[in-house]
Amino acid sequence: MIVTLPDEELLDALVAHHPPLGVELRVWDWSRPVREALGEEADEVVGVVLPYLRAASQWRSLADLPRLRLIQAQSAGYDNLLPIVPDGVALANARGVHDASTAELALGLIIAAQRELPRWARARSWETVQTRALADSRVLIVGAGEIGEAIRRRLEPFEVDLTRVATRARDDQHGHIHGIDELEQLLPSADIVVLIVPLTERTRGLIGAEQLALLPDGALLVNMARGPVVDTRAITAEVVSGRLRMASDVFDPEPLPEDHPLWQADGALISPHIGGNTTAMAPRILALLADQLPRLADGRPLLHVVNERADPAAPRAGAARPAP
């Protein structure tokens, strides 16, 4: 059984730091068809690991892997990956790998926006002015998954008034979580709104002109989810006018065009989708693969599967065809 990795660096790290995984490892960087890269060994490929932060241009050649059972992403988000998965193949995301880094960036963006740190970085004069505090701010976290929880933990010591929203209302050891149907009732009392939801048909356009209009003047919208969760035109109008502020790691479209008004808006703090891309990623993705690949080899349940599919342990008859 063969599992392909997208680069030599990842292969070398797995070999150096982890015991035998029960599979053979090969490099396929997705820049050319898999059979061109591996030849007859493509018949033995049971798993492929996607590249991180670069295009997988030859995804259609997944149809040439008759034994393929697993596509392993290195990202937590997977909405853009579902269409490339052949029937009967499991798609697993990198749940847990990016929690700490994404939560760190969320907190950093919030503090930088509240204390106007970009302003001081650009200034050449000594000014003493009062800025917003994070302490005593009313923070609304929309999304109660693992990254949302990581953000909650990091905000807790900052003495904020914290409210959480998830798909459905429930209680946990940290208190009450409101349902998404209550969102519009909660927005008028939020000083800071943090978005950390997956992109689905339900969350696409979750925050539009109507929702933004409910926020109080000066509120800060922090998008750590996906760009299309927020209506770009609507948030741009609010920020350029000076009524609202935003700090965002994701945009629609990406990359944000060079002439986009948000680049020049005083109330906009922009990072180029770098939430999970830190030095903390490597040890965490290695640990995930070291756990996942033996499961694939042994036929045990796989971790973090995010799609519905046929039994991945069953032999596949013929080559699968990727979704259009």
- Active-site option among 115, 204, 273, 295: 273
Length of the chain (residues): 324
Residue 109 CA to residue 30 CA, distance in Å, equals 34
Phi, psi torsion values for 250, nearest 5 degrees: -135, 150
Decide: 98 and 148 in contact? Cβ < 8 Å: no
Cβ atoms of 177 and 199 within 8 Å: the answer is no
Q: Does 254 participate in catalysis according to the annotation?
A: yes
**Spatial contact of 217 and 245, defined as CB atoms under 8 Å apart:** no
Q: What is the DSSP letter of 299?
A: T
Active site (annotated) includes residue 36: no
d(CA 79, CA 184): 25
Question: Could you tell me if 188 and 218 are in contact, meaning their C-beta atoms sit under 8 angstroms apart?
Answer: no
Token pair 């991180």: residue? 52
* CA–CA distance, 226 with 207 (Å, rounded to integer): 12
DSSP-derived 3-state class of residue 254: coil
Any catalytic annotation for residue 273? yes
Catalytic residue among 152, 226, 304, 316: 226
Q: Which of 17, 182, 254, 300 is catalytic?
A: 254
Q: Active-site residue numbers?
A: 226, 254, 273
